Amino acid sequence: MSLSLPISIVDVFAEQQMAGNQLAVVHEAGCLTDAQMLAIARETNFSETTFVTQADASSATVRIFTPSGELSFAGHPTIGTAWTLTGGVGSTVLNLGVGPVAVEFNANIGWMRPPEVALQDGLSKTESARLVGLDERDLAADLPVTHAQIGPRFLLVPVNSLAALRDVTIDPVAWAPFIADAAELHSIFVFTRQAYSSDADYAARMFFNDGGVREDAATGSANTAFAAYLQANLGNVGSVIVEQGFEMHRPSRLYLEVNESIRVGGKVQLVVRGEIFIDPDSVR
């Protein structure tokens, strides 16, 4: 007999529908096995799908899956799942693999207080340029390439211009030694001080390995790492707007607050509410 569970699909870090990063949220999912969660994540084929295994008025326990496995933390699933639980009003705490993460909604923006970021020296500019398919002269001379760990691990690569950002092409041969061990280098976040909109501060692209190189339309965890990077290199710069996903035709806007503490925020748009059916005998 099939299980029938409520499911929501939302666009996260989206100023309007059909933009931002897609997220499927499966509710009342405590009855599912790990294999069933992974099968559903592969069925949606979004960068992440979340499973709410327990929820009450103030908190929820949530698991995050990509099509290839489970993550301890990711940003757009955190904000998007919180929106489906609260309707975008008030606050909640999500208990994730990394621990509790608070999300508060204010003026249509969901703000999360993410876990701490660990920054480390990155690759050389020469190696980084090869990795992203650019000339070393395309990388910003005054900012470092840096590794950041926040559950997922990112390589943050600064480039000089939107033109260079558009030209980024991940070299799978150059990346292969790093993705052989996913804990060593999972994702690459490339950014520039130029942006598509006059009121934005940066534009970025994020590439990750999930059974092959994929691009993400909007990445809360990477932008959390980027906020920590800005704090470390430029100080408490206050409010920052980052645009992502434009090259994928999924324009996204992420709001960063870089002060003594860091917050990452964005808007959420509801696209689908319905049911998902799964036969326990087919997927255990």
Asked if the structure places residue 113 within a domain, the reply is no
Separation of alpha carbons 107 and 274, rounded Å:
27
Asked if the structure places residue 284 within a domain, the reply is no
Q: Are 144 and 223 found together in one domain?
A: yes
Asked if the structure places residue 9 within a domain, the reply is yes
Secondary structure element (H or E) that encloses residue 42, with its range: helix 34-44
Separation of alpha carbons 62 and 22, rounded Å:
17
Give the model's pLDDT for residue 151. 83
pLDDT tens profile 73-124? 999 999 999 999 999 999 999 999 999 999 999 999 999 998 899 999 999 9
* pLDDT band (50, 70, 90) for residue 198: very high
Q: Are 274 and 237 found together in one domain?
A: no
207 touches 44 (CB < 8 A)? no
Q: Which has more confidence, 179 or 34? A: 34
pLDDT tens profile 45-67? 999 999 999 999 999 999 999 99
Report the domain count for the chain: 2
* pLDDT band (50, 70, 90) for residue 177: confident
Secondary structure element (H or E) that encloses residue 131, with its range: helix 125-131
Average pLDDT over residues 210-231: 93
Active site amino acids: 48
Across the chain, the runs of DSSP E, i.e. the strands, are: 3-12, 21-26, 49-55, 59-66, 69-71, 91-96, 99-106, 109-113, 118-121, 146-149, 153-159, 187-192, 202-209, 213-216, 238-244, 252-258, 262-266, 268-278
**Locate tokens 């992502």: which residue?**
244
202 pLDDT exceeds 80?
A: yes
Average pLDDT over residues 4-28: 98
- List of residues 6+ apart from 109 with CB closer than 8 A: 255, 265, 266, 267
Token reading at 5: 């569970």
Domain of residue 251: give its range.
118-260
**To the nearest 10°, the Cα dihedral for 154, 160, 161, 165?**
-30
161 pLDDT exceeds 90?
A: yes
Q: Are 233 and 129 found together in one domain?
A: yes
Q: Are 194 and 271 found together in one domain?
A: no
Asked if the structure places residue 283 within a domain, the reply is no
207 touches 226 (CB < 8 A)? no
The reported pTM is 0.94
Separation of alpha carbons 233 and 9, rounded Å:
37
pLDDT tens profile 239-274? 999 999 999 999 999 999 999 999 999 999 999 999
Give the model's pLDDT for residue 185. 58
List the CATH number of the domain containing 32.
3.10.310.10
